[in-house]
């Protein structure tokens, strides 16, 4: 890349001070989500999700963040996908969200557990029909011989479930990241970014620490 196309983003919108922070990362996350909604941030639920094999080889992809509360951060996927296999072997993940319009990043790290069946069922039932068909038709992350095969499988499941409710595939559902650390990053002028990280303590309280940018 030549120097004339290098873009240097200058951050300028906000500062993040200890006095601004909520006592726990979930309340703080909700605070920033209120700002996300007010600022009409596009695709704000898109979240990088890193998993790793048992021997520590990482992989990363985008998933949608579909829920959060004091239990953790929830996403939905195929449990037999690559990420699902990696989580079965090594139930730890890291995730990051970036909201450009607000010059903010959130980083989440922790152990991962399966969501319970009732919440996965409820979420699946609320998805558009074609997404439900897709969950049945796609053996996510497995080799696919050609596109026509996927189209054929989609048509077959469409017919199979014609006129009725579509049950949740047994290998599809939620995973919840139970955070150990949640970092709130606010871009700052002249690279003086604010980084405040909540670290879970053994008694489940949170210790907040500022990091050099
Ligand atoms: C904006 C965006 C949102 C996505 N959301 C999801 C999601 O919520 N769940 C999912 O399984 N895949 C989602 N994907 C597809 C994943 O990035 C990925 O291709 C797929 O999950 C297979 O990943 P794996 O082979 O590492 O398991 C999304 C992709 C994009 C670009």
Ligand 1 first shell, C-beta below 6 A:
46, 59, 61-64, 75-78, 81-83, 140-141
- The SS3 assignment for 135 reads helix
Distance 169 CA to ligand 1 centre (A): 17
In the chain, where are the structural domains located?
Answer: 7-127+171-210
CB neighbour class for 18 (10 Å; exposed up to 12, middle 13-18, buried from 19): exposed
| Mean pLDDT, the chain, whole residue set | 95
Cβ burial 59-96 (10 Å sphere, 16+ → b, else e): eeeebebebbeeebbbbbbbbbbbbbebbeebbebbbb
Cβ burial 139-158 (10 Å sphere, 16+ → b, else e): ebeeeeeeeeeeeebbeebe
**Mean pLDDT of the region 189-213:** 96
Phi, psi of 96 (to 5 degrees): -145, 140
Q: Which fold has domain 7-127+171-210?
A: Pnp Oxidase; Chain A (2.30.110)
- % of the chain exceeding 90 in pLDDT: 90
pLDDT of 38-48, one tens digit each? Answer: 999 999 999 99
Task: Say if residue 75's pLDDT is above 60.
Answer: yes
* Residue-level pLDDT at 82: 98
* Residue-level pLDDT at 191: 86
Task: Say if residue 1's pLDDT is above 70.
Answer: no
Tokens of 106: 């959130």
């Amino acid at each position: 890349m030549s120097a004339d196309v290098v873009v240097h983003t200058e951050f300028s919108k906000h500062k993040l001070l200890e006095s601004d922070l909520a006592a726990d990362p979930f309340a703080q996350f909700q605070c920033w989500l209120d700002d996300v909604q007010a600022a009409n941030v596009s695709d704000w639920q898109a979240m990088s999700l890193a998993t790793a094999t048992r021997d520590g080889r990482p992989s990363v992809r985008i998933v949608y963040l579909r829920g959060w509360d004091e239990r953790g951060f929830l996403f939905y996927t195929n449990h037999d996908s690559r990420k699902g296999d990696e989580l079965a072997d090594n139930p730890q993940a890291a995730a990051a969200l970036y909201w450009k319009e607000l010059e903010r990043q959130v980083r989440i790290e922790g152990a991962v557990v399966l969501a319970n069946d009732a919440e996965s069922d409820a979420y699946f039932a609320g998805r558009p029909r074609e997404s439900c068909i897709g969950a049945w038709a796609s053996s996510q992350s497995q080799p696919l011989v050609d596109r026509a095969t996927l189209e054929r499988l989609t048509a077959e499941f469409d017919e199979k479930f014609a006129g009725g409710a579509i049950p949740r595939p047994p290998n599809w559902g939620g995973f919840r990241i139970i955070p150990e650390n949640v970092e709130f990053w606010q871009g700052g002028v002249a690279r003086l970014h604010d980084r405040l990280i909540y670290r879970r303590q053994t008694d489940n309280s949170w210790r907040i620490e500022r990091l050099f940018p």
